Structure 1
Amino acid sequence: MSVEAAQAAPPWAEFGRRLRSRRRQAGLTQAQLGLKVGYHHSLISRLEAGLREPPAGLVRGLDSVLETGGELAALVAAPREVPYGAGRSALCPALFAPLPGADAPGAEGLLPDLRSWPSVLPAEGLACPLHGTVGCAVPDQAETSLLLPALTATDGRFAEATSAEPELLHGLTAVLACLIRRTLQQVTADGVATVERLLRALTRWAEAVDSTGRLPYGQLRLAAQYAQVAGRLRMQRGQSSIGMAWFGHGLAWADAVHDAPARATLLSDMCTLVRLDQDAGSTLAYARAIGAVDARRRWVATLSSLYQARGHALGHDVAECRRHIAAARRTFARLGHRDHLEAPWLSGAEGEMRVESAIGGALRDLAAVTGDRTTARRAADATARSRAQLPPSMRATHLLLTLRLADSWACAGDPGAAVELAAPVLTEAVDSRELMINAELRGLHARLFTHWAGVAEVRRYRESVREAGARGPVEPGV
């Protein structure tokens, strides 16, 4: 097919052609296939004509009945554009521009801790970069471990490692799931180096595929996921500039392959960074950009509303902050199966924890600028609910929410409760390099030492701050 014909074809034409071919190979009529998957034959006809987008649940059923091995789901996940080849130039060179950070000395010898190896994708919220959320088997752990040194090598072993493309992409996704489980719970230098080393190998692989005239779809989707983890790890080490650089690269890769879920979550991380700089305007701009990713995805709308609530709180807009909190709660309550597949971290108790944490933060920010103690008590309630649902492994998040809860009580006019909460974790908080924990501690101390300096408990706590070695950003003059 010519480029002009491809451009004029219906958006789902290739899916329809493949479906028709597979149906005929199976010896089924449209009516027979419709009966097997529980849909009317007229829909099968429209799908084969490329006239409409196939429902996600139907695609899984078609793959199962026609025994395609996930082929149709992969077509749905792939970007719908002119086929990559004749008449189309390679990807923008900026996608393969120099990457941030640098491997630590000896990093090439590091291998990730592969305990808790997943047997199937999605895992730790990571979908298969080729087939989305349909469910893909993961290669053997030992087999993947043998490929990693070759993948990061600069000799002929690199080509050998990348020859089995689907298996290696599945394996690298499983590796990232293991790294998330370990490094996001406890940040270590080797964890950061390993993520970034594998990410560089992935982008090198993507560039090699791109040079052949083929879209490096799976490589770029997975690279966006690795970039997000790299950026979060850099944030946890207090390196906001490198973190933002990784998020920017990840966003460019996600855009290149039309990966809406990755785009939404990367924008949310970028939104967090500008909010930590107290930039209300940029916070709102990123928050609205999240919502513009795809208005049909309720989990995306939930994220957008939560981040807009935080932005309006920074901008002292009480009505808009409360409106977006209410909107977030409404859309969160209506999340469906597709939302939970794409954003499993918004499911069940973990989802409630994340939503209440964001709402507690927005209400606390609002109370801090308005002095409204009723709002502060609501912030304390939301934060306490969130903290109560934390698993023990999320120690850094527990520390952050403890400080936020203490600050909420300081805003509510109860400095004694604030000190009682903060004192046991003071040394750990002061020693932390994580940006969000540092911001929570600064806000708490600003409230306590400005408004409650004469209270006995606060005076004793202030001495503890001095002994813990808190410096300028925590409390000037201490």
Structure 2
Amino acid sequence: MITGPARAGEASWAEFGRQLRSRRRAAGLTQLQLGLRVGYHHSVVSKLEAGLREPPIGLVRRLDSVLETGGELAAVIAAPRDVPHGPGRFLADPGLFSPLPGADNTEGHGALDPRHWPDRLPAEGLACPLHGTAGCAVPDRSELPALPELLGASSALVAGSAPPCGADAEPDLLHGLTAVLACLIRETFQQPPDDHRVAVVEGLLRALARWADAVNATGRLPYGQLRLAAQYAQVAGRLRMDRGQSAVAMAWFGHGLRWADAVQDAPARATLLSDTCTLVRLDGDTHSTLAYAVGVGEVDTGRRWMTTLSGLYQARGHAMAGNAVECRRHIALARRKFARLDRRDLLEAPWLAGAEGEMRMDSAIGGALRDLAVATGDRSTARRAVSATARSCASVPPEMRTTRLLLTLRLADSWACAGDPAAAAALAGEVLADALRARESMVSAELRGLHSRLAGQWRDVPEVRAYRERLLDAGG
């Protein structure tokens, strides 16, 4: 006789089957048509709907995508069915929710710019934590509390007091908090991250974690809360990384990965691994860079945007190691995957669409080729880095000021690696004051690399001497 966990697992299969059948019929698809779309025989779909087999997680993700459920099928499989709803029992390890970095503080941050407030989700690459890329409307900004009051809004919901934003309080608050994060991301494009913005993101994130913990304690999987918390953790970690605070950044990335895994959120896991890969690369750890780069592609090999990023990150890792063959091979693989991105890819990774996507590709390729030129001393590779970085720099949107600064420094460094220190000094001189004021770790890393090249064999070139004098006068 089957008992215990096995029987509980079969119960979740049956619930999954009921949900799958309902979603398929709502989409107007036969079992044969759905099977063709996800790459499985229709008999597999039939067995899944009958609850006769365990759904493979890769297939679950494809079904969620094709049926546009926003991850609801994955949530069915992720949620245990045998956990009592009494007090003190949890659907997930309570260690998911603490200890957390940061503090509960949103004071000092002005009102969000209404021009940045989105009408619908996804926005700034953030999907709805409940419904994915379905195109959810968000509440009007005037309908939400002020930022400091949002910290207590989730607690009010859990405690059963008056809803903070309408009758359907939980979805509205999740939609509104996603829109707030989109606004904060847009602000970061226009100006460097400051203490107040970091505090706001981390304060709201800590409130989200408490909300998720409280929902979890009632016996209900906090699916939307954990998905949104993973998105907030990625931004919080990125802000800390930009400020050179790598330990706190790694802590946030780690929490985000655990939250994303708890609800099987593949896009969040891939973006968190991508930023972790950048963090260890900035620390000069080649082996960890390659390990995380491979991990990005392994999240879901069917999502081309993930394998594109994986190829780019692997190219940079191999460049750091001076492996020209592998660097160029992964650049070529990334380009092929990028050329084949489909609608789902661009919904989940809109920053890879159109001109912005081309800019980001050229930026990453230029960075890899520059790193390879530094490691090998090959000037022909450096000239290819100049071409890729110049294309990227020319197409940076005006609002992405920090990106333009970083790419200008990288272009100058590529010219130095290519044997033209005068061009390098001229380019860097145009942005020297901004670069010295910048607090972003990646800008600082580019500036250090450029200065090490110019201070080496090119220190006696007149243009370089003049640049170094300006640098000393500026206190750099």
* 1:296 positional shift: 1.1
| 8 A contact 1:251–1:266 mirrored in 2 | yes
The C-alpha deviation readout for 1:57-97, integer Å capped at 9, x for no partner, is: 7525xxxxxxxxxxx55523535235355368532222112
Q: Does 1:102 align with 2:116?
A: no
Q: 1:18: how far off?
A: 3.3
Residue number in structure 2 paired with 1:69: none
Alignment of 1:287-366 (within 5 A): 287-366=293-372
CA distance in 2, matches of 1:97, 1:23: 39
7, 17, 23: which one aligns with 1:5:
7
The residue correspondences of 1:111-150 to structure 2 (distance < 5 A) are 112-145=112-145, 149=149
Asked if the contact 2:304–2:337 (Cα under 8 Å) also holds between the matched residues in 1, the reply is yes
Look up the equivalent residue of 1:386 and give its one-letter code. S
Give the SS at the match of 2:115.
Answer: coil
* 1:316 to partner: Cα distance: 1.2
**Are the aligned partners of 2:242 and 2:440 in contact in 1 as well (CA < 8 Å)?**
yes
The within-5 A match list for 1:167-206 is 167-186=172-191, 187-206=193-212
The answer to whether the Cα contact below 8 Å between 1:151 and 1:158 also exists between their aligned partners in 2 is: no
Partner of 1:91: 92
Deviation string, structure 1 residues 142-201 (Cα, Å, up to 9, x no partner): 222369615437985773347821111111111111111113431232211111111111
- Please tell me the root mean square deviation across aligned C-alpha atoms, in Å: 3.1
User: Are 1:95 and 1:252, in contact at CA under 8 Å, matched by a contact in 2?
Assistant: yes
Aligned residue type for 2:73? V
Aligned to 1:68: none
Do the aligned partners of residues 22 and 399 (structure 1) sit closer, same or farther apart at CA in structure 2, a change above 3 Å counting?
A: closer
Could you tell me which residue of structure 2 aligns to residue 164 of structure 1? 169
Matched letter for residue 115 of structure 2: R
5+ unaligned residues in a row in structure 2: which ranges? none
Aligned mate of 1:76, from 61, 73, 76: 73
Bigger Cα displacement from structure 2, 365-374 vs 115-124: 115-124
Q: For residues 381 and 127 of structure 2, what CA distance do their matches in structure 1 show? A: 39
- Give secondary structure in 2 for the equivalent of 1:451: coil
Structure 1 30/313 Cα, relative in aligned 2: closer, same or farther at 3 Å?
closer
| C-alpha separation in 2, matches of 1:10 and 1:337 | 31
Deviation larger for 458-467 or 84-93: 84-93
Q: Which whole-Å CA distance do the structure 2 matches of 1:394 and 1:350 have between them? A: 11
Deviations 1:282-329 (A, max 9, x none): 111111111111111111111111111111111111111111111111
Judge conservation of contact 1:17–1:48 (CA < 8 Å) in 2: yes
Aligned counterparts of 2:148 and 2:207: Cα–Cα separation in 1: 9
User: Kindly tell me: are residues 113 and 145 of structure 1, through their superposed partners in 2, closer, same or farther at Cα, counting changes over 3 Å?
Assistant: farther
Partner residue in 2 for 1:384: 390
Alignment equivalent of 2:261, drawn from 255, 274, 281 = 255
- Give 1:278's aligned residue: 284
Alpha-carbon displacement from aligned partner over 1:372-406 (angstroms, at most 9, x marks no partner): 11100000101011111110000000000000000
Q: Which residue of 1 aligns with 2:413?
A: 407
Counterpart for residue 245 of structure 2 = 239
Shift of 1:366: 0.5
SS at match of 1:316: coil
- Per-residue deviation at 1:126? 0.4
Counterpart AA for 2:357: G
- Could you say what secondary structure the match of 1:393 adopts? coil
Kindly state the Cα deviation for residue 204 of structure 1 after the two structures are TM-superposed. 0.7
Rounded Cα–Cα distance in structure 2 between residues aligned with 1:30 and 1:338? 19
* 432, 435, 449: which one aligns with 2:441: 435
Contact 1:116–1:178 (CA under 8 A) maintained in structure 2: yes
> Which residue is 1:59 aligned to?
67
Contact 1:152-1:158 at 8 Å conserved across structures: no
Change (3 A) 1:468 1:320: same
Is 1:16 the counterpart of 2:20? The answer is: no
AA aligned to 2:169 is A
Q: 1:458 corresponds to which residue?
A: 464
Aligned equivalents of 1:219, 1:78: Cα separation in 2? 12
When residues 154 and 320 of structure 1 are mapped into structure 2, their CA distance, relative to the original with a 3 A threshold, is closer
Whole-angstrom CA distance in 2 between matches of 1:443 and 1:95:
39
Q: Does 1:416 align with 2:405?
A: no
SS, match of residue 322 in structure 1: helix
Question: Are residues 23 and 222 of structure 1, via their aligned partners in 2, closer, same or farther at CA, if it must alter by over 3 Å?
Answer: closer
Residue 102 (structure 1) shift: 3.0
Contact 1:15 / 1:75 at 8 angstroms: preserved in 2? no
State how far apart, in whole Å, the 2-side matches of 1:274 and 1:35 are.
Answer: 44
Seen in structure 2, the aligned counterparts of structure 1 residues 47 and 463 have a Cα distance that, compared at 3 Å, is same
After TM superposition, give the deviation of residue 105 of structure 1 in Å. Answer: 8.3
After superposition, the C-alpha distances for 1:235-254 in whole angstroms (9 at most, x for unaligned) are 22232222222111111111
Q: Structure 1 length normalisation: TM-score?
A: 0.86
List alignment gaps of at least 5 residues for structure 1. Answer: 61-71, 471-478
Contact 1:84 1:213 in 2 (8 A): no
Q: Which has the higher contact order (CA 8 A, sep 6+)?
A: 2
1:6–1:82: 8 Å Cα contact kept in structure 2?
A: no
Residue identity opposite 2:7 in structure 1:
A
CA distance in 2 between counterparts of 1:446 and 1:30 reads 61
- Name the amino acid aligned to 2:6: E
Residue in 2 that maps onto 1:49: 50
When normalised by structure 2's length, the TM-score is 0.86
Distance 1:14 1:111, change over 3 A: farther
Q: Distance between the aligned counterparts of 1:103 and 1:155, measured in 2?
A: 13
| Count of residues paired in the alignment | 454
SS in 1 for 2:128: coil
